[in-house]
A and B are shown apart, each in its own frame.
Chain A
């Protein structure tokens, strides 16, 4: 490309990118503005006075920390459960030959396309009957129902990428099947497991519907429904506070983006992502 066209192209491309990213930029800016500056017309693009008062109030005056802790426990437990079961399940789907194996694999795919509103009603009834409603544990079970099929599908495609010869070689050398699984398969599969774990964590972190239906107490409420409760129950909507909450809520994602982005894009390639 000629230099002039190159510059023009770059300007245009970056204008597009910035337009897409603008809402997120605006979220950060709003969270840093003091109240009097927020309602000024015309709005200031860069805050004239940067303040962290909203963050401070968020942490000291609202149940935000409680929600954050709930979400952290919830997402971590779900991820651990799903990755553990998912790895074993994917291993069995790929390595052992049994009747209906292919159909089972496609059943998995089928369920991960199912709408959650269809599953929510029976799940709700089940949780009420078991006396588990309003607990974090009920959400762990509910999240497993949608994250597991997805994780299985993803891990299955990673697993097919591990050459079978490696395992056979270990078996010939006298390793047991389980020994071979831990010594040979797991290290090869590690990048796939990290991708799957990341996606599962993000899915559980962001989930809304199940949390809305199954939990109705601050002690077990995760961030998504918790922050929305703050919006609804407030006398007048404090946008700066909500934007500060949004920024805090996105922190784990920003960290994942900064350090583990290659794993995220790898997950995309392996088997499309749940939306």
Chain B
């Protein structure tokens, strides 16, 4: 437990402490500046635009994850041939390294030789190859899409586990009452899934909100700063602009925003643990 405190609590406290200084990264020398970092941050357009991008990214990718995830779970729940193989293939994007995922997608998105642009031209959707990552709003959409591809298996597995515990007699009762497949989904499946979906949405909202690797590697926040989310901004301040104190201030504000979700999630888990 001591180890635990040392590795987590110390950095956390010092992050808050550092945010009150102005520190130059290469020399690590700094002076006390009080709350001026926070004043600067809140007055800056870059913070608000990054926050806005962050929200669009989180909501966009989360929605796709949930819709695809639940849909795929329903498909995998049915009897299909080679079901376990299908399940492995679906799971794989989740476990593969973000670096691998990004490399593969950048190759798919490649403007001259990427297969996606080939398909776009072939299908007559557009005469010109599409610039997937270098222009807006394509870049943000591409990032959201790749994020959904990478993380939706989480939703699939969690939903599938819950689906398997829904008692069969509920469906039979609904059938006798004359409910069709669509009505059965909305009247039986969805209410049964409600609890697990709430937990999944909260968890994924937290994780998507703080996602760094995927966006950083895919677009680096670009073009210019149009896909820059808060975690990327923190990184840029600390290691590209060499302003550690400012970066800490951004990090602390970001954490404060996330705290709301985290407390909601923890409270819920706690209720589930001791009813």
Query: B251 contacts A24, CB within 8 Å?
Result: no
* Least Cβ–Cβ distance between A13 and chain B, in angstroms: 5
Query: B113 contacts A43, CB within 8 Å?
Result: yes
Contacts A41-B118, A92-B1, A208-B99; A17 near B90 (Cβ below 8 A): yes
Report B-chain residues with C-beta under 8 Å of the C-beta of A42.
Answer: 118, 122
Report A-chain residues with C-beta under 8 Å of the C-beta of B128.
Answer: none
Count A-B contacts at CB 8 Å: 223
* A18 CA to B78 CA, complexed, in Å: 17
* A122 CA to B103 CA, complexed, in Å: 30
* Least Cβ–Cβ distance between A207 and chain B, in angstroms: 8
Contacts A109-B266, A208-B217, A209-B213; A119 near B11 (Cβ below 8 A): yes
**A117 interface neighbour in B98, B110, B254, Cβ under 8 Å:** B254
Instruction: Give B58-100 as 1s and 0s: 1 = Cβ < 8 Å from A's Cβ atoms.
Output: 0000000000000010011010110000101111110111111
* A24 CA to B88 CA, complexed, in Å: 12
B104 on the A face (CB < 8 A): yes
Residue of A nearest to B88 (CB): A257
B255 on the A face (CB < 8 A): yes
* Least Cβ–Cβ distance between B50 and chain A, in angstroms: 12
Query: B1 contacts A113, CB within 8 Å?
Result: no
* Least Cβ–Cβ distance between A58 and chain B, in angstroms: 13
Query: A224 contacts B97, CB within 8 Å?
Result: yes
**B269 interface neighbour in A18, A38, A109, Cβ under 8 Å:** A109
Query: B254 contacts A14, CB within 8 Å?
Result: no
**B104 interface neighbour in A92, A205, A243, Cβ under 8 Å:** A243
* A135 CA to B43 CA, complexed, in Å: 39
Query: How many residues of chain B get a CB closer than 8 Å to chain A's CBs?
Result: 80
* A21 CA to B222 CA, complexed, in Å: 27
Residue of B nearest to A21 (CB): B89
* Least Cβ–Cβ distance between A61 and chain B, in angstroms: 18
* A230 CA to B100 CA, complexed, in Å: 13
Using A21-B89, A122-B11 as known contacts, list a sample of 10 further A-B pairs with CB atoms less than 8 Å apart, ordered by residue number in A: A13-B75, A20-B93, A109-B269, A113-B258, A113-B262, A128-B28, A239-B113, A246-B104, A274-B207, A275-B203
Query: A273 contacts B96, CB within 8 Å?
Result: no
Residue of A nearest to B233 (CB): A117
B157 on the A face (CB < 8 A): yes
